[in-house]
Chain A
Amino acid sequence: DTGVSQDPRHKITKRGQNVTFRCDPISEHNRLYWYRQTLGQGPEFLTYFQNEAQLEKSRLLSDRFSAERPKGSFSTLEIQRTEQGDSAMYLCASSLLPSGRGETQYFGPGTRLLVL
């Protein structure tokens, strides 16, 4: 499978614990995005990387959230001191720039987080 992959697919944790998610983008893609999606809503942008540089962060991304893409390939998203409001689907997407098709973003299957 040459698509975007995410691990784990599901995570249940207790409030106050730290969690880390991993995303492996499509191999030649230089841009990687993180989004969060809650039930009945569209995905909301969190942050994105071009190669290893984190170029933009949403105001949704509190200090408890940190993301890395150390070698410009896979990325990790860590949430510290989880809260029940962090329960959501965390989606990763990747894209290739430059692109002739508007830099289409391709999504992974997501990590569903439940904070008890």
Chain B
Amino acid sequence: GQNIDQPTEMTATEGAIVQINCTYQTSGFNGLFWYQQHAGEAPTFLSYNVLDGLEEKGRFSSFLSRSKGYSYLLLKELQMKDSASYLCAVRVRQAGTALIFGKGTTLSVSS
């Protein structure tokens, strides 16, 4: 079967850096995505990794290690608006092109 694990909740303060980890056990890995989802809203795309290494995009960075089945999303200079759920999703070849999502990590940013 396919399994994606993320911490359920994390807290941090404004201006800080937070790292949200994602581990996956899937077959036929074909890319990993991070999405942000505010309560009651649609997931919005943050990042995509298919090769090992770090992808940086402004305050957000995502890292992938395929051999370890591990990814993290790094958020810098946290702002209150970053309070949201962060979803890790994996595409596996055997599942066609659909994404398999983790349950999400709810991040609360306080002042």
Q: A residues bordering B, Cβ < 8 Å? A: 4, 31, 33, 40-45, 48, 55-56, 58, 91, 95, 97, 101-110, 112
Closest to A101 in B: B48
Contact A42 B89 (CB under 8 A): yes
Contact of A107 with B95 at beta-carbon distance under 8 Å, contacts A42-B101, A45-B100 already known: no
Q: Is the C-beta of B10 less than 8 angstroms from some C-beta in chain A?
A: no
Contact A45 B98 (CB under 8 A): yes
State how many angstroms separate the Cβ of B42 from the closest Cβ of chain A: 4
Q: B residues bordering A, Cβ < 8 Å? A: 4, 31, 33, 35, 40-45, 48, 50, 87, 89, 91, 95-104
Contact B43 A48 (CB under 8 A): no
Contact B33 A109 (CB under 8 A): no
User: Could you list 13 examples of A-B contacts with CB < 8 Å?
Assistant: A4-B42, A42-B87, A43-B101, A45-B95, A45-B98, A45-B99, A48-B96, A56-B98, A102-B33, A105-B45, A107-B44, A109-B42, A110-B42
Interface SS of chain A: loop
Contact B98 A48 (CB under 8 A): yes
A58: B residues at CB distance < 8 A = 98
